[in-house]
Amino acid sequence: MIHQLHTLLEGSYEEMVSIRRYLHQHPELSFHEVQTAAFIADYYEKLGIEHITNVGGNGVIATITGSKPGKTVALRADFDALPIQDEKEVPYKSTVPGVMHACGHDGHTAALLVLAKNLNELKDELEGRYLFIHQHAEEYAPGGAKPMIEAGCLDGVDVIFGTHLWATVPTGTVQYTYGPLMAAADRFEIIIQGQGGHGAQPHKTRDAIVAGSQLVTNLQQIVSRRLNPIDSAVITIGSFVADNAFNVIADKAKLIGTVRTFKEEIRSFISEEIERVVKGTCIAADCTYDYQYFQGYPPVIPHDAETEFLIGSTKSIKEVLVTEEIDPDMTGEDFSYYLQKVKGTFFFTGARPKNAQAYPHHHPLFDIDEKAMLIAAKILGTAAITYHNKEQSQLKANESLLR
């Protein structure tokens, strides 16, 4: 059956590309993916595949039930875009000003839709139940995974698999970890209140920009001097906004940043340390402050047994050339919430464009090698089908031990 699925997917590759390019041309931001959700639902409707909409917001879930009893396997793809202007000169360039798929979610969606179509053609031979979770709002916390889970998308699920197309990794490469794969992704905001005035009379002011500049530097000492070097963390200031007149000393400055960690105790420690540093810096500058810390997604921690199983299932896929264990990545993903509830794993599928420069995710020139979608679909489909065989083999091994 695995060979049949691979053959069907290969025959559907052009459809996969067509879907991805349509979605790339019509991106929608997190929590606003109404038309994208409708497109997904319409695809399943035309195939006669059972599905429900508005799950936890704009989420869509489709279900295929095999003719034989078995486990329930969930597969997930996200479908929101980013507030970035698409600068690629390609036929499928985004038609929405200031919005683009700069992270590969269009490819995730296309791969999962076509995989569902092909598995549906094999349902008379399938065991168990297959859930296709199309998740909205991955890019912006609180994200779509949590409300979809609260709405029951994981009810009865035994295992979940997911992947992220990774545009900086060669196509044909599959990357995984034992232990954390992606970091907790938090956000903080700091407002420094000084006393503005004339640029020629600094002695009559309390300069919020100078205080903020010192703060940017001081915050870096948390990781370099307060944290055990064995532990990993990132503190990044991504936005620094103040008055913009050349001859005015700013009355107020606003800094927004992110914190990335893997351990909960480090996460809490850094949150407290940021405020300590902000307080000290502002006292020295005779300014006041407001500080808010927002916890985002927890770290993505795949389950070891499911990771080992998935990597083993890639051996039947001819396009997979390399499987490699990697160091954890400091990017974040709300797939973490699924893995907190059920067994499963998450991995990267290499998607570096072959004849073009590879741009990082969230870049205006971001693109993928579309062949990676086929590889991702084959891996997810193979894992979903063979998971039942894994369970049967385990049961037989347990029975042998009892004899």
* Residue 324: both structure tokens together: 């490699």
Active site residue 138: yes
Residue of 28, 33, 78, 80 marked active site: 80
> Is 264 marked as binding a ligand?
no
SS3 assignment, position 134: strand
Asked whether residue 362 is marked as a ligand-binding residue, the answer is: yes
Q: Do the annotations mark residue 198 as ligand-binding?
A: no
Residue 80 annotated among the catalytic residues of the structure: yes
112: burial class by Cβ within 10 Å (0-12, 13-18, 19+)? Answer: buried
155, two tokens:
């009810």
Is the sign of the CA dihedral 136, 141, 147, 150 positive or negative? Answer: positive
How many other CB atoms sit within 10 Å of the CB of residue 284? 11
- For the record, the structure tokens of 250 come out as 């700013």
Of residues 138, 158, 207, 306, which has the active-site annotation?
Answer: 138
Q: Tell whether 105 is in a known binding site.
A: yes
Residues in Cβ contact with 18 at an 8 Å cutoff, skipping those fewer than 6 apart:
none
φ/ψ (deg, to 5) at 43: -60, -45
Q: Which residues of 214-241 are buried (b: 16+ CB within 10 A; e: fewer)?
A: bbeeebeebbeeebeeeebbebebeebe
Neighbours of 10 (CB within 10 A): 14
26 is in an annotated binding site: no
Kindly report the number of other CB atoms within 10 A of residue 205's CB atom: 18
Catalytic residues: 80, 138
- Which amino acids are annotated as binding site, given as ranges? 103, 105, 139, 164, 362
Q: Residues forming the annotated binding site for Mn(2+)?
A: 103, 105, 139, 164, 362
